[in-house]
Amino acid sequence: MQEFRLDVADFIYPLFVTNGTGLKKAVPSMPGIYQFSVDNLMKEAEEVDRLGIPAVILFGIPAAKSASGSSAYDPEEAVQRAVKSLKDNYPHMVVVTDVCLCEYTDHGHCGIVRGEEILNDQTLELLCKTALSHAAAGADLVAPSDMMDGRVAAIRDALDDAGYSRVGILSYAVKYSSAFYGPFREAAGSAPQFSDRRSYQMDPANIREALKEVLLDIDEGADIVMVKPALSYLDVIRAVKETTTCPVAAYNVSGEYSMVKAAAANGWLDEKNVVLEELLSMKRAGADIIITYHAKDAARWLREEGGRD
């Protein structure tokens, strides 16, 4: 009689990759999450693969940051090398890359900046270069998270023109300006150095605007649309699901993860049951795909439960 069921095939596991070798650096605000150098990332990928998680999304921590974030499209940077290595070692693993400049800019914003203004159109060109460098490395899907207007169309055109028509776009279509990204910004070193992201991320008070963004992104060529964060926005996931026939992804973000981890570490919550309930609620709301830092644990728990039947 159960209407919805979680499955390991629903998950995308986020991975942070950095330069150097032999590195596995803990992210203090996200217990269980690390920044990996490419060599160690392959060990992590082996575990992800063994657990049956079909996909990962990569975030990069570059060697150097600059005003224009130009290392975002450097073919020798960590993300590009990681994609290549993952596809060489685990060809069946779906490799998604986050396309954004905030990890690569010295000011921490997702686009080029003049004064305190984010320059939308000038940023598009750099996002296209970044997406192309990921495609060239072998990415299956690129996931623009910058929230500049028109970026899905620009990236789709750039990919098609360069012969990467098989590379899909998982669009962060509905990305709210949220306080739940705090721990991620520690993990990726991407906190904005001035102001905030409210000029390009969405107002948490809006839902019709979310649907507008979704329809625009689909029109521009998005293959999958995402709602982010997930837990405070289950109503938005449901509304998006009812608005489109495109697959819908939910991003169970860093702050949502850290809250559960902190409470569980204090013995205040039953981690397993809380996480499985949360993930199931995202599915019930309409998510076809769940990006979650809990993916490895959830995969283990689902396997244990399956074994008991």
Q: Indicate which residues carry an active-site annotation.
A: 175, 228
Give the separation between CA 295 and CA 51, rounded to whole angstroms.
Answer: 9
Output the smallest distance, CB 109 to ligand PBG, in A. 9
Side chain identity, residue 193:
Q
Write out the E strands in 104-167. 112-114, 117-119, 141-144
Q: How far is the CB of 165 from ligand PBG (least distance, A)?
A: 25
Q: What are the residues binding ligand PBG (CB under 6 A)?
A: 98, 100, 102, 110, 145, 181, 184-185, 197, 253-254
Q: What is each CA distance from 177 to 154, 164, 293, in whole angstroms?
A: 23, 31, 20
Which residue's C-beta sits nearest to ligand PBG? 184
Q: Which of 15, 103, 112 is nearest to 64 (CA)?
A: 103
- Nearest 5°: CA angle at 109, between 120 and 119? 20
Q: Which residue, 176, 186, 138, is CA-closest to 34?
A: 186
